[in-house]
Structure 1
Amino acid sequence: MAGENATIAVRKGEGLDIGAVDAVLKDHVDGLSGSPQVTQYPSGNSNLTYAIDYPDRRLVLRRPPFGPLPKAGHNMFREYRIMRDLKPAFDQVPNTVFYTDDESIIGKEFYVMDRVDGPLIHKTIPPNWNWSEDDTAELGENFIDTLARLHTLDWKALGLDDFGKPDGYVKRQITGWNKRWDKAWTDGITRFEDVQAWLEDQMPAESGNVGVLHGDYRVDNAILKADDPRKIAALLDWEICAIGDPLMDLGNTLSYWIQADDPAPMHMMIRQPSAASGMPTRREFADRYGDKTGYDVSDIHYHFVYGIWRLAVIIQQIHARYVRGQTQDERFAVMDKSVEALGALARHKIDTGTL
């Protein structure tokens, strides 16, 4: 199938002790038999994802990256728990089957979930799908509506009262990402103090709305339905999920949403088919989201700039790991260019006041 969520041979330096994993899974997951085959999912710049294929069941394992890690980052239990607890009310997550914090097994904590069948697409809609603009528009609408539904779930009823601290969420995010930038900055990168200052000086009041935030909501973090890829089967990559102000999550999502009329430097960073003919613009995305949730999106420009800046910091954190010798993944060597482009984009959007 075009858009298949394919795997590759495990990358050098990211090996998995499949014997140890097999033993512990057979102790805790009913019905597993035979010898598993392990391959790796090539996408993702942070936590590592492996396919664990048994003759009669296909599983997926997630673990933190190798090397030194920040104290509060790469928490596998958060990913595992949010999917486990959302599942009864929000079926668009994989079924989780096992978690352990026993680092003696593979050197880090990890969790395992069932694999969800269906395509995963990246920059473009596969040409052999022969989609019309209406088909593409329907995927865009379903993508927006899924985010709106996630953000309006009764998170307290799902037992997530202790999952986060929604009070003061906006301020913690702005000051927190600014501090992370300062710690991750490396020689040769522009400082962008003006962007940091604008975000702190223009910080809006809390909206009063609270919801489950995905944190990395993109089409390429979603498995589409195998029988109708205009619909979302399962959301992946819950690494930085939270409970907080949904508009902050919308701002993050809009920062990824490159549209057809954006300048070339933005298109160089495209990771999902948001620029395909029929997809909504960022303004249309925000307006539909506002209609579906009832949330006031009139100040979404601020949240959009925040999303751009947060993305710059995330990429700089990854680049800094390479610069400091904490990873040998050559993909991270040239990420400084994306950091510079995003910082400049944040400045431009601050100056123009546009989405």
Structure 2
Amino acid sequence: MTDDARTKVAGAREVRDEDAFDVEAVAAWLRAHAKDSAGLEGTPEVRQFSGGASNLTYLLRYSEQDLILRRPPSGKKARGAHDMGREYRIQSHLAPVFPYVPGMVAFCDDESVIGSEFYVMRRLTGPIPRRELPPELDHLSPEQVRSMCTNVIDLLVDLHSVDPAEAGLSDLGKGEGYVGRQVSGWSDRYRKAKTENVGDFEDVTAWLAAHQPADRRICLIHNDFRFDNVVLGESDPTRPAGLLDWEMATLGDPLMDLGGALAYWVQADDDAMFRELRRQPTHVPGMLTRTEVVRYYSERAGLDVTEQQWAFYEVFGLFRLAVICQQIYYRYHHKQTTNPAFKDFWLVTGILEDRCRKIIARADG
């Protein structure tokens, strides 16, 4: 790791008071339980990453290396969410067959250490595209941006090609019937997270229930695939070097994974309201449009999907994103977190509801 890579860690800031933990306790636990305790002497400097809105992510800066700690948020959580052991297991098992996961260091299920489960992993170095391209990538031409974009989509295709049995992850999900379970499950989650200042989405959930297709196939899916979870190569930033944030990975339908990814895909010609939600650089010259992404992925994965068929996956992806935003806002609304970044998430829920309705109207028209 270069000194420059160690010095500049984008998105890392001081730890919020409500998210602080006993650093000495973690350091002592790691020295006793890490697979390799080399370089774990002393107490690390701790910084918190500001990008995530679900699990909490921290930088542990030791004198010789940087590690990453992940733990659940405080407050009410959806049943089955924020399972640190599951997230650790997925990445540990994937490493031999999918070389884009960070190296795992240790998992702690003893909540007496910091008040929750947590796990620690190696930090992958390299630029991460967030709302804008990192400054060091400003030199990329539109052709290079397009190459980066298609290579990132190929990463998703590669993941969907992993044999779950070979990875020892055949038990990760419930298998057939995935689409139906997702429609009913996310509909129920929204009803439980609804607050009085947002719409009910009942027309959207009814349309999804009436138009749900059969599973195309069942494979390993990431379920939170977007640019700010991709680490690009340091020597060649047009190629991905890592994929982060595996908390929602499961066995499911690959087109549902793609639909979830494209819910974040705001392009240059979108309406002004939707452009306000952009959190990744999918608007820059050279980036594929959503239509081009679907076409490219379908060709690479060997899955035919018509524009009419795609409407379901697009609406579902946007609806699921609305539920995620509303679940986060619910925690803020009920004072389970005081993070001011979440105070306007209810507005995002409304914008996404309106977009779902427009796509449904076009599909039914």
* TM-score in terms of structure 1 length: 0.96
Task: Say yes or no: does 1:161 pair with 2:166.
Answer: no
Task: Say yes or no: does 1:241 pair with 2:246.
Answer: no
Q: Deviations over 1:8-65 (max 9, x none)?
A: 0101211021111001100122212233111111111111001111111211000000
Separation in structure 2 between the aligned mates of residue 192 and residue 301 of structure 1, nearest angstrom: 17
Q: CA deviation at 1:5?
A: 2.8
| Distance of aligned partners of 1:51 and 1:112 in 2 relative to their CA distance in 1, 3 Å threshold | same
Q: Deviations over 1:147-169 (max 9, x none)?
A: 01101111111111111112111
Separation in structure 2 between the aligned mates of residue 329 and residue 127 of structure 1, nearest angstrom: 27
Q: Which residue matches 2:356? A: 346
Task: Say yes or no: does 1:210 pair with 2:215.
Answer: no
Choose from 227, 233, 241 the match for 1:225.
233
Q: Which residue matches 1:19? A: 24
Q: Which residue matches 1:181? A: 190
Separation in structure 2 between the aligned mates of residue 225 and residue 126 of structure 1, nearest angstrom: 13
**Does structure 1 retain, via aligned residues, the 8 Å contact 2:127–2:134?**
no
Q: Secondary structure at the match of 1:229?
A: coil
Task: Say yes or no: does 1:197 pair with 2:206.
Answer: yes
Task: Say yes or no: does 1:104 pair with 2:119.
Answer: no
**Does structure 2 retain, via aligned residues, the 8 Å contact 1:166–1:245?**
no
Give unpaired runs (5+ residues) of structure 1: none
Q: Deviations over 1:161-206 (max 9, x none)?
A: 1111121111000000000011111012111211010000111122
1:310-349 equivalence runs, <5 A:
310-349=320-359
Q: Which residue matches 1:66? A: 74
Q: Secondary structure at the match of 1:39?
A: strand
| Distance of aligned partners of 1:331 and 1:73 in 2 relative to their CA distance in 1, 3 Å threshold | same
Separation in structure 1 between the aligned mates of residue 9 and residue 311 of structure 2, nearest angstrom: 35
Q: Which moved more, 1:29-38 or 1:7-16?
A: 29-38
Matched letter for residue 308 of structure 1: L
Q: Which residue matches 2:50? A: 42
Q: Which residue matches 1:303? A: 313
**Does structure 2 retain, via aligned residues, the 8 Å contact 1:4–1:119?**
no
Choose from 269, 280, 292 the match for 1:284.
292
Matched letter for residue 179 of structure 1: D
Q: Which residue matches 1:144? A: 153
Matched letter for residue 14 of structure 1: D
Separation in structure 1 between the aligned mates of residue 324 and residue 313 of structure 2, nearest angstrom: 16
Q: Deviations over 1:90-110 (max 9, x none)?
A: 111111111121100000000
**Does structure 2 retain, via aligned residues, the 8 Å contact 1:38–1:53?**
yes
Q: Which residue matches 2:271? A: 263
Task: Say yes or no: does 1:10 pair with 2:15.
Answer: yes
The alignment covers a number of residue pairs equal to 353
* TM-score in terms of structure 2 length: 0.93
Separation in structure 1 between the aligned mates of residue 310 and residue 165 of structure 2, nearest angstrom: 26
Q: Secondary structure at the match of 1:259?
A: coil
Q: CA deviation at 1:6?
A: 3.8
**Does structure 2 retain, via aligned residues, the 8 Å contact 1:323–1:333?**
yes
Q: Deviations over 1:207-255 (max 9, x none)?
A: 1x11111111111111111112111111111111111111110110111
Separation in structure 1 between the aligned mates of residue 66 and residue 362 of structure 2, nearest angstrom: 49
**Does structure 1 retain, via aligned residues, the 8 Å contact 2:27–2:42?**
no
Matched letter for residue 93 of structure 2: D
Q: Deviations over 1:272-317 (max 9, x none)?
A: 1111110011111011111111122222221111000000011001
**Does structure 1 retain, via aligned residues, the 8 Å contact 2:82–2:247?**
yes
Matched letter for residue 22 of structure 1: A
Choose from 56, 81, 97 the match for 1:89.
97
Q: Secondary structure at the match of 2:19?
A: coil
TM-align CA RMSD: 1.5
| Distance of aligned partners of 1:339 and 1:6 in 2 relative to their CA distance in 1, 3 Å threshold | closer
Q: Secondary structure at the match of 1:40?
A: strand
Q: Secondary structure at the match of 1:256?
A: coil
